[in-house]
Amino acid sequence: MDVITAIETRRAVKAYDPEHRMTQDEIDKLLSLAMLSPTAFNIQNWRFVVVQDQALRKQIRAASWDQAQVTDASLLIVLTADLKSWEKQPERYWKDAPEPVRNYLVPAIDQYYRGHEQVQRDEAMRSCGMAAMTLMLAAREMGYDTCPMDGFDFDAVARLLNLPEDHTPAMFVVVGKGIKEAWPRGGQLSMDEVVIRDRF
Ligand SMILES: Cc1cc2nc3c(=O)[nH]c(=O)nc-3n(C[C@H](O)[C@H](O)[C@H](O)COP(=O)(O)O)c2cc1C
């Protein structure tokens, strides 16, 4: 499937075949593609929690306004981020780069994030948002439907996943075989309203 078709046919699908199972190869392929998503300074701050324990998925569904796709989709991925990845051995993020590049970038990472908690959190959401889109488009190519979700109790889900203190949930992406079409598009704004030429 070409990228334009993947973008045009991706919809937030809410009803899934609960019997369908993805193979481990498919799951690994999807995650390996998500891991190619860009992150600022290459800090790769996303942590993808793949929830396969059905009992846990039921608990997460209860903390997600009882939305059926949480348990019925083949895969529930909770995109979370390590808010402190920027200070955890940052040289790892540039280990394969030429030394002058590494020597320049690694200290720059620290200067950019240290003491700036809001920036750390914004970065978490940016990275996870982009990885979510990669997941959704790659899933289309693999013949699957998806739904991005943030309709859940963040604190409750963090507790259920034993999320470390310095991590945050960002959103879910569920992946599976849709059994019902998405609702008709809600209503797209006009390009005139959303595209600003040069400045407001
Ligand atoms: C960050 C985010 C959170 C969302 N949360 C939910 C959700 O909790 N439950 C749901 O059914 N859809 C959720 N959606 C899906 C949106 O309602 C949907 O993307 C939007 O209506 C546009 O429809 P489309 O994705 O089919 O084009 C979410 C979408 C995004 C991007």
Residue 13: count other Cβ atoms within 10 Å of its Cβ.
22
Residue type for position 105: L
CA-CA distance, 90 to 111, in Å (whole number)? 12
pLDDT of residue 19: 97
Question: Measured in angstroms, how far is the CA atom of residue 173 from the centroid of ligand 1?
Answer: 10
pLDDT of residue 64: 98
Determine, yes or no, domain membership for 102: yes
Question: Measured in angstroms, how far is the CA atom of residue 76 from the centroid of ligand 1?
Answer: 15
Helix (H, G, I), strand (E, B) or coil at 94: helix
Q: Is the CB of 129 under 6 A from ligand 1?
A: no
pLDDT of residue 151: 98
* Domain boundaries, position 136: 3-183
Tell me the angle at which helices 117-141 and 24-34 cross, rounded to the nearest 10 degrees.
Answer: 130
Mutation probe of ligand 1 site: the residue of 65, 78, 127, 150 with most atoms within 8 A of C-beta: 150
Ligand 1 atom index nearest CA of 183: 26
144, HSE (Cβ side, Cα atoms, 13 Å): 25
Question: Measured in angstroms, how far is the CA atom of residue 81 from the centroid of ligand 1?
Answer: 20
Residue nearest to atom 7 of ligand 1 (CA): 149
CA-CA distance, 36 to 29, in Å (whole number)? 11
pLDDT of residue 142: 98
Determine, yes or no, domain membership for 195: no
Residue 68's region, left for phi above 0, alpha for psi from -120 to 50, else beta, is alpha
pLDDT of residue 123: 98
Q: Is the CB of 171 under 6 A from ligand 1?
A: yes
Phi (first) and psi of residue 129, to 5 degrees: -60, -45
Determine, yes or no, domain membership for 87: yes
Residue type for position 4: I
pLDDT of residue 22: 98
Profile the chain (200 residues) by mean pLDDT over runs of 10 residues.
97 98 98 98 98 97 98 98 98 97 97 98 98 98 98 98 98 98 96 98
Q: Look up the CATH number of the domain holding residue 121.
A: 3.40.109.10
Determine, yes or no, domain membership for 73: yes
Residue nearest to atom 10 of ligand 1 (CA): 149
Determine, yes or no, domain membership for 28: yes
Q: Is the CB of 147 under 6 A from ligand 1?
A: yes
Determine, yes or no, domain membership for 104: yes
Partners of 168 in beta bridges: 81
pLDDT of residue 157: 98
Q: How many domains does the chain have?
A: 1
pLDDT of residue 73: 98
CA-CA distance, 200 to 105, in Å (whole number)? 34
DSSP state of 22: -
pLDDT of residue 118: 98
Determine, yes or no, domain membership for 198: no
Question: Measured in angstroms, how far is the CA atom of residue 26 from the centroid of ligand 1?
Answer: 24
pLDDT of residue 78: 98
Determine, yes or no, domain membership for 111: yes
